[in-house]
Structure 1
Amino acid sequence: MTNQFQLPRHSRMCSSEFLFGVATSSYQIEGAVKEGGRCDSIWDTFCRVPGKVDNGDNGDIACDHYHLWEQDIEMVHSLGVDAYRMSIAWPRILPEEDAVNVKGLSFYEQIIDKCHALGMKVYVTLYHWDLPQYLEDRGGWLNRETAYKFAHYADVVSRYFGDKIDVYTTLNEPFVSAFLGYRWGVHAPGICGESEGFLASHHLMLAHGLAMPILRKNAPGAKHGVVFNATPFYAERERDIGAAEYKEAENFHWFIDPVLKGNYPKVVLDREFEHRPMILEGDLDIISAPVDYIGINYYSRGVVRYDENGDIESVPQTDAEHTYIGWEIYPQGLTDLLLRLKTRYSNLPPIYITENGAAGNDQCVDGAVDDEQRQHYFQTHLLAVDQAIEQGVNVQGYFAWSLMDNFEWAFGYAQRFGMVHVDYHTQKRTLKQSAIAYRNMLLARSEENKNG
């Protein structure tokens, strides 16, 4: 592979106005779960349940970013990126319901200040799945009150930081929080129930809507939005088109429609009639508060068909290339997804690709990590973004997932998504070839823009 990713000449992505970054999340990298006044999150609890996380792994130490944050931010800067996307751990800020933990705020302030001192913008996610356990003890996202607790948390953070945070994200991937956590039980808190999943989803979206005016008031100079994971679906046969359309409606229209259209997709409400969440009058007005951007996290596609009973089933693409985690590599899906969003939403705000990346079985050999498949993945997906831009989609930035190997939720540490290899025994960081290619692309772009 080349040691530099290539963008088409004259692409808008070559402009200094297009933003490139890397991304992480708090529970996946920080560790120090008992330090700095932090309380337990639902993931601390979930990890202690035998069989829930591969190899019995947990986030107790993770990448020890809590102690190594300064060298990590220097490493981010060395890649030549414009921005760093991170999340703030709710359990560090409000370890008790009404007790603001200044140590937690100070921890993140030093990271934000360091990023700004190095010339990088800071994109902060307020909720990347680490709900305080004391709120889960009262029902978590099944309790409508949690949406209001989130609004209070957003108020605490945004009053403290204001415009010092360049871009605020309310939620990361509410689909995962709601459906994997409360519908299918494979993520924390491990609840299984159709009704529970849809109820949690509504309360998450309500939390987003309640937070938006608070964020705008406290940080009027910042941008504010929300991040969705989105998987485009394809029909195996023409008669399966309805199956693909439904899967997209359930997978991401269910979460994006209430924000951009002020309603939930009828096809899902009808099919899940007995599991409809309680939606109070005015809820959708709250959820559809204007946003400055939406983030899209893309990894792969899905192919589906109707089975003999009329149910929708996935069709494995056995002849296609897959990553180590088993996800098909399909860059065309990213272009298709972005074009479908442009078609569906006449009021589509600017888009950032807030996550995109691949898991590999990466080995550090003689101080180097040759992650050829990941290099190919990034190269083809960067071109896929460019194709969407050429066809009129307003994409303004791209964040690679992830900065470094980390705790990959229910997969533990077996799946490595990082551009930087982490030796979990020594905490040594090693730039993989993909990180070097990303850095070289950004350095070349910077030089070209300097030279006109």
Structure 2
Amino acid sequence: MIKASDFGDDFLWGIAVAAAQIEGAPDKYGKGPSIWDTFSKKPGKACDFYHRFRDDLAFVKLLNFKVFRFSISWPRLLPFGSGLINQEGIKFYHEVIDECLRLGITPYITLYHWDLPEALEQEGGWASFSVNGAFNSFVELCGQEYGDKVKNWIVINEPFGFTSLGYMLGIHAPGQTGLTNFFSAVHHAAIAQADGGRILRSEVRNANIGTTFSCSEIIPFTESDADHLAAKRMDSLVNRLFIEPVLGMGYPTADWELLEKFAIKHSTWRHTERLTFDFDYIGLQNYFPLTIRYSPFVPILQAWEVKAKSRKKSFTAMGWEVNADSFYNIIKQFAAYPKIKQLMITENGAAYKDVVAPKGRIHDQERIAYFEAYLTALLKVKNEGIKITGYMAWTLMDNFEWAEGFDKRFGLIYTDFKTQERTIKDSGYWFRDFLSQ
């Protein structure tokens, strides 16, 4: 049985949350609407972290986590995306940071976790170049306000996630579709992650600056050439599209002609230089692998995911395959980039259909088994000499899970969304005990 101490005394153990998923108060205290407020029309309280943050941070302390990763809501600070500053919002995050520090918890701030101000979406959002100037002003404001207290930063959360789901497939906010929107959003997000790093470097003394990428091992369904080529095309999108430009390698073009055409438009030396930044660490966020087969019926990409359920593999309530070996493999894939200084797992977790048992207990043994397997794989890769500095579980409490609403539960703490009562699950107690060893 692994123990937290197996990872070393300097290994960071944290828990991650996102403003749009937990804060609530979407139209109060001077906050402007975000694209998710418009897209989802979700109930206003969410997890009501805005009013309950002291109690919730006490849970972080109780479960023995040393790091609290949270995001700053852009429209809570800048209701119109730029210009007018909401002092109520500024004050709120100072209070959250101060409470972390009082409890001996290290705050990690994520600057963009998908809640673009609706006012900027009306100007084209991430598909418009104007978003970059507004984002840079937001980063500068955050660095100036909080940089004396907070030294650990994440510029953007999962850029492939919000550009593909929100600007190509339309199933996440803002609900835009098409390759033109997608590739425009990709380029502007890639610029933003590097620009944000440079601004933090200039504004925050002794800053530790990272950015985070969703990632999945891409596995060909068969050994056929067609399936292998389809898997390579998918890998260039899912895993390589944002990390390689930031490392100065440009957009990945070798395995897909369409990406080559996209890159030609953005391949001048000025573009390449602006896309590059020397991050102190790269965050990886992994939940599942993708098994891919060739499909002539899928336009352009000609690749199709073979779902875990159809292959009779273990899967979570999201339908995502449980595969700790794949977690190990994708970390190794990213560690092979020589310019990455160090890696941190900034999200990892699982949704299951939690049931409240008699006496109010939530016996989520499947989630505990998930964490045991994935942390065992993480220890293996760390013991092989790969520089992994920390692990952040997703997530503190059940919350608003984007397009899934309140149905899918990832938390270590059960949230009753009617009463806002919190109940620690067995997985939360498991982490408490694991981190005390």
Taking structure 1 as the reference length, the TM-score comes to 0.91
Residue 59 of structure 1 and its aligned partner are, at CA, apart by 5.0
Please give the secondary structure, in 2, of the residue aligned with 1:397.
strand
Task: Find the counterpart in structure 2 of residue 25 from structure 1.
Answer: 18
**Cα-to-partner distance string for 1:257-296 (whole Å, 9 max, x where unaligned):** 0011330001366234565684274122122111000100
Q: Distance in 1 between matches of 2:152 and 2:4?
A: 29
1:85-234 pair list within 5 angstroms: 85-96=69-80, 97-234=82-219
Deviation at 1:134?
Answer: 0.5
Cα distance in 2, alignment partners of residues 159 and 337 from structure 1 = 36
1:17 is displaced (CA, Å) by: 0.1
Deviations 1:235-254 (A, max 9, x none): 12222222222211111200
Secondary structure of the residue aligned to 2:292 is strand
Would you say the 8 A contact 2:233–2:256 is kept in 1? no
Which deviates the most, 126-135 or 244-253?
Answer: 244-253
Do 2:289 and 2:326's aligned partners in 1 also have CA atoms closer than 8 Å?
yes
**Percentage identity across paired residues of the two chains:** 35
1:310-367 Cα distance to aligned partner (Å, 9 max, x none): 9222222331111111111011111000111122x11122111000000011122221
Going from structure 1 to structure 2, the CA distance change for 1:46 and 1:34 (only over 3 Å counts) comes to same
Task: Work out which of the residue numbers 55, 60, 82 in structure 2 matches 1:76.
Answer: 60
Equivalent-residue separation in structure 2 for 1:192 and 1:216 (angstroms): 35
In the alignment, structure 1 residue 271 sits paired with structure 2 residue 264: no
* Cα distance between partner residues in 2 of 1:419 and 1:76: 10
What CA RMSD, in Å, does the superposition of the two structures yield over aligned residues? 1.7
1:349 aligns to what? 341
* 1:406 equivalent in structure 2: 399
Q: How many residues are paired up?
A: 427
User: Which of 327, 333, 352 is equivalent to 2:326?
Assistant: 333
Distance 1:260 1:254 in 2: 11
* Letter aligned with residue 418 of structure 2: H
Q: Which residue of 2 aligns with 1:250?
A: 237
AA partner of residue 282 (structure 2)? I
State how far apart, in whole Å, the 2-side matches of 1:237 and 1:167 are.
Answer: 43
What is the rounded CA distance, in whole Å, between the counterparts of 2:115 and 2:255 in structure 1?
28
Match of 1:34 in 2: 27
Give the Cα–Cα distance (whole angstroms) in 2 for the partners of residues 304 and 197 of structure 1: 21
In the alignment, which residue of structure 1 is the partner of 2:380? Answer: 387
SS of residue in 2 equivalent to 1:377? helix
Q: 1:361 aligns with which of 353, 359, 363?
A: 353
Look up the match of 2:304: 313
Contact kept? 1:334, 1:384, Cα under 8 Å: yes
1:293 aligns with 2:281: yes
CA 427–339 in structure 1, closer or farther in 2 if over 3 Å, else same: same
Deviation of residue 195 (structure 1)? Answer: 1.8
Q: SS state of the match for residue 61, structure 1?
A: coil
Tell me if structure 1 keeps the 8 A contact 2:283–2:346.
yes
Among 2, 9, 20, the residue aligned to 1:7: 2
Identify which range, 387-396 or 168-177, moves more after superposition.
387-396
SS of match in other structure, 2:239: helix
Q: Deviations over 1:410-448 (max 9, x none)?
A: 00000001010000111111110111000101112xxxx
Secondary structure (helix, strand or coil) at the match of 2:200 reads helix
CA deviations over 1:205-257 (Å, ceiling 9, x no partner): 11111122210111121211100000111112222222222211111200110
Residues 262 and 285 in structure 1, CA contact (< 8 A), matched pair in contact too: no
SS in 2 for 1:325: coil
After superposition, the C-alpha distances for 1:74-128 in whole angstroms (9 at most, x for unaligned) are: 1111111110000000001111321111111110111111111111111110000
> TM-score, normalized by length of structure 2?
0.94
Q: Which has the higher contact order (CA 8 A, sep 6+)?
A: 1
Q: How many Å separate the matches in 1 of 2:110 and 2:43?
A: 18
Task: Name the CA distance, whole Å, in 2 between partners of 1:10 and 1:425.
Answer: 39
CA distance in 2, matches of 1:193, 1:241: 25
Preserved CA contact (<8 Å) 1:29 1:59: no
* C-alpha contact 1:262 1:287 (8 A) present in aligned 2: no
Q: Relative to structure 1, is the Cα distance of residues 427 and 168 closer, same or farther in structure 2, using a 3 angstrom cutoff?
A: same
Greater mean alpha carbon deviation, residues 97-106 or residues 410-419: 97-106
CA distance in 2, matches of 1:9, 1:258: 35
For 1:227, what is the secondary structure of its paired residue? Answer: strand
Which amino acid in the other structure matches residue 298 of structure 1?
A: N
Residue 150 to residue 346, structure 1, CA distance change in 2 (3 Å): same
Q: Return the alpha-carbon distance in structure 2 between the equivalents of residues 163 and 334 of structure 1.
A: 35
Equivalent residues of 1:163, 1:221 under 8 A apart:
no
Compute the displacement of 1:9 (Å). Answer: 8.8
Q: Which runs of 5+ in 1 are unaligned?
A: 1-5, 49-57, 445-452
Q: For structure 2, list consecutive stretches of 5 or more residues without a partner in the other structure.
A: none
Summarize deviations over 1:57-85 as a string: whole Å, max 9, x none: x1521001111111001111111111000
The Cα offsets for residues 1-58 of structure 1, whole Å up to 9 and x where unpaired, read as: xxxxx426973x1x2200001010001000001111100000011014xxxxxxxxx1
- Give the structure 1 partner of residue 44 of structure 2: 60
Q: 1:92 to 1:9 in 2, by over 3 A?
A: closer
| CA–CA separation in structure 2 for the residues paired with 1:138 and 1:72 | 36
